[in-house]
Amino acid sequence: MEVRAKPHLHQDWIDSHAFGIVKALQKSGHTTYLVGGCVRDLLIGAHPKDFDIATAAQPPQVKRLIYMAFIIGKRFRLVLVKRDDQQFEVATFRREVRPEDIIDPNTPHGDNIFGTPEEDAQRRDFTINGLFYDPVNNQLIDYVNGLPDIDARILRMIGDPNIRLLEDSIRILRGLRLAHKLGFVIEPGLREAMQVHACELEKSVLPRRREEILKILRLDEPHLALLECFDLGILKFVIPTLHDFLEDPIRRELFLEHFEAYQPMVADHTDTSQLFGWLVFSMLKAAHAAPSIRTELLNIEDEVFQRLMRDELGMYKFEQTALTKAMELLPFLTQTDDFKRRGERRQLSLMKNEGFRLALIFAVADYQLSGSQQNFWNQAFSKLSVEILAGEADAKAAKKRRKPRKRRGGDDRVAREGGRTPPIDEDDDFESSDETDDDTSKSAEPPIESG
C-alpha cells in the first residue's frame, strides 16, 4: 500500500457536501474515502462530475448518521444521499465471494459481502479507478498502483484482463471509451484481451451497451473511438450494421465525412434523440452518396435500419419514432409557401410533430435550407411556442401517468442488467438522462439559430 501525505489534488474542487459526508462518517469511527472516477479526474486536473464515497459503515449505519440518506437496491445495497439538487452514492467496502461464502447459509443475499478497503479496491475495473482519497487528512491511498498509471497515462486492468473482461464484457467498451476520453494508452495486454473477448459483448444486455454507445457519442472525438472499435474487431459485436458500413473504404470515408460534419448539430448532449439521430442520419447520408450501396440501405423504414435502431443501438420507441418522422418531414421543410397556406391548427399540428425539431436540425446541418428559410421556421416556432410547449407538457404528464410503479426495494441498475448484480466499476460519470423516455426539450427558444 502506498500512502502519500500531499497528493497533487485540488481540494478546492472537492464538493463541500461530499467532504461533509466523509467527515461525518470518519468522526463516527468509520474509515471513509472518496473513490473512483472523482479521484482519477482530480489527479489529471479535471473537474469531477460526481463524487462517490466508499466507507466501512454499513448501509443502516450510514442512514442513521447522515441526514437525507436513503438505502437503495437489494442485490447491491448502497446509500443515496441527497443535498439540494445533487446526490451522492455511499457504498460499503466489498470483497470477492469466497468458496466458504457459497456454502454458508448466513452469507448476505446478492453482492453485499462487505470487506476491507484493499479488498474493495481489488474488485474495481481499472487501476486508475481504484484509488481512494481521504479529503479530511489529505491522503491518497493506492492499493492497485493506479497512480503510476495515471502519471504514465496508461489504462490497465486490475488483475488478469482475460479473467476480468469475462466477468463483465461491458468493460471492453468502457475501457476503450475511457482511453479516448482521457487521452490514455491502453496497456498492450488489456488491448489484446479486448480483441480476444470482444465476442462476449453479444451476451451483454442491450441497455448497458446502449449506455456505453451514448457515452462514446458524447466524446469530443467519437469518430476516433468508433474507428478503434472497428479496428479491434469490437464493433461487429456491438453495432454490426456500422461495422459492415466501415468495411467498405468508400462507405467508410463518406460516413466519417458526414459524421464529423454533422457533429455540431448535437446542441444538447442529454437529448438522446439528437445523439442517435446524428449517428443514423450520417449513415443514411453516406448510403445515399455511395454508388455501391444496395438500395435496401437507402430508407429509414427498411429492416436494416429498423434493426439498427431497435436491436443494435437499443433506441427507445419514442426515439425511433422521432427519427423516422424526422426523415419523413425533411422534404417539407423547404416548402414554406405550403406551410403558409395552412390554417393555424394544421401549422401547429406539424410543428408539434415528434420529429419536427429533429428534422429541422438535420436540414440545417445538411445545408438543405437557406438562411431565409431558417429564419422563417424560427419565427413560425416563436409564434406558436406557447401552444407547442403546452402540448408537450400535457403529453409528458400523460406519459408519466401511464408509467408502471416500480417495485419497492428494486434496484434500477440490476433491472437494466436483466437481474444480474452490477460489477463495481467506478469508472466515471453516471448518465441519468439515458434512462428517460420524456421529451428532453424544455425551452421555448427557437429550435435553430439562423446563421
* SS3 state of residue 294: coil
First CA to last CA across the chain, in angstroms? Answer: 57
> Which is catalytic among the residues 125, 149, 425, 427?
125
**Residue (of 362, 345, 376, 342) closest to 450 by Cα position:** 376
> Which is catalytic among the residues 52, 120, 142, 149?
52
Q: How many CB atoms lie within 10 A of CB 376?
A: 17
Q: What is the rounded CA–CA span in Å between residue 119 and residue 94?
A: 7
Report the run of H or E that residue 258 belongs to, with start and end.
Answer: helix 249-261
Cross-sheet strand order for the sheet of 131-134: 2-4, 139-142, 131-134, 32-35, 52-55, 86-92, 78-83, 69-72
- Is residue 428 annotated as a catalytic residue, yes or no? no
Q: Name, in order, each residue with C-beta under 8 angstroms of 153's C-beta and a sequence gap of 6 or more.
A: 182, 183, 184, 185
Cell numbers found for residue 77: 445495497
* SS3 state of residue 403: coil
Half-sphere exposure of 191 (CA within 13 A, CB side): 12
Q: What is the rounded CA–CA span in Å between residue 112 and residue 5?
A: 32
Q: What is the rounded CA–CA span in Å between residue 204 and residue 184?
A: 25
Strand partners, 2: 142
> Which is catalytic among the residues 41, 50, 411, 434?
50
Q: Name, in order, each residue with C-beta under 8 angstroms of 36's C-beta and a sequence gap of 6 or more.
A: 52, 54, 124, 129, 131, 426, 427, 428
- Is residue 366 annotated as a catalytic residue, yes or no? no
Burial 413-445 (b: 16+ CB within 10 A, else e): bbebbeeebbbbbbbbebbeebeeeebebeeee
- Is residue 427 annotated as a catalytic residue, yes or no? no
In sign, the C-alpha dihedral spanning 93, 95, 100, 106 is: positive
Q: What is the rounded CA–CA span in Å between residue 113 and residue 135?
A: 26
Specify the DSSP class assigned to residue 108: P
Specify the DSSP class assigned to residue 65: H
Positions annotated as catalytic residues are: 50, 52, 125
